[in-house]
Structure 1
Amino acid sequence: MIPPQWLWEFRDVTGTVLPEPTSPVFTNQYDAEQWLGQTWRELAAAGVADAVVLHSGVPAAPAVQLSTTLA
């Protein structure tokens, strides 16, 4: 049995999927969201405008907008 896979897809301000940075793979959505909560500032500084959590390759929730102005 293959465990569920959760990961983040990152997009720039135009909505283009970014090849870098890459997301770790998580076994549950909670861990994926915890990780994003801890790293969003670094991701935003690297040019990520929003992130979408994927469950086995399918969007599982609306995009999360990253902005250093929210800090």
Structure 2
Amino acid sequence: MAWTWRYIGADEGEPQGADLPEEAFTSRGDAESWLGEHWRELAEVGVERVALMDDDREAYAMSLEGAE
């Protein structure tokens, strides 16, 4: 099982022009901790929402707007 983040921009697609990290995690907790440390950088390059993926299944999605 691999946990990854899918990045979603303003048009509901992947933000263009940004070098987005392609991290894979062995646990949901590790993935969530990583996002807690990096969400600001993601928001700065145009990521508005993220979806936590469990292989090909979306566990949940959330907005990065107003997270401060």
Q: TM-score, normalised by structure 1?
A: 0.82
Contiguous gaps of at least 5 residues in structure 2:
none
Identity %: 30
DSSP-derived class of the 1:60 partner: strand
Paired residue for 2:49?
50
Report whether the alignment pairs 1:6 with 2:3.
yes
- Greater strand share, structure number: 2
The equivalences for 1:1-71 within 5 A come to 4-18=1-15, 20-61=19-60, 63-67=61-65, 69-71=66-68
Give the gaps of 5 or more residues in structure 1.
none
Shift of 1:40: 0.2
Q: How many aligned residue pairs are there?
A: 66
The two structures have a TM-score, normalised by structure 2, of 0.85
Post-superposition Cα deviations, 1:20-47, rounded to whole Å, max 9, x if no partner, equal: 4133000010100000011000000010
Amino acid at match of 1:27: T
Q: CA deviation at 1:57?
A: 1.6
Runs of 4+ in 1 over 6 A off after TM superposition: none
Q: What is the alpha-carbon distance in structure 2 between the residues aligned to residue 46 and residue 17 of structure 1?
A: 11
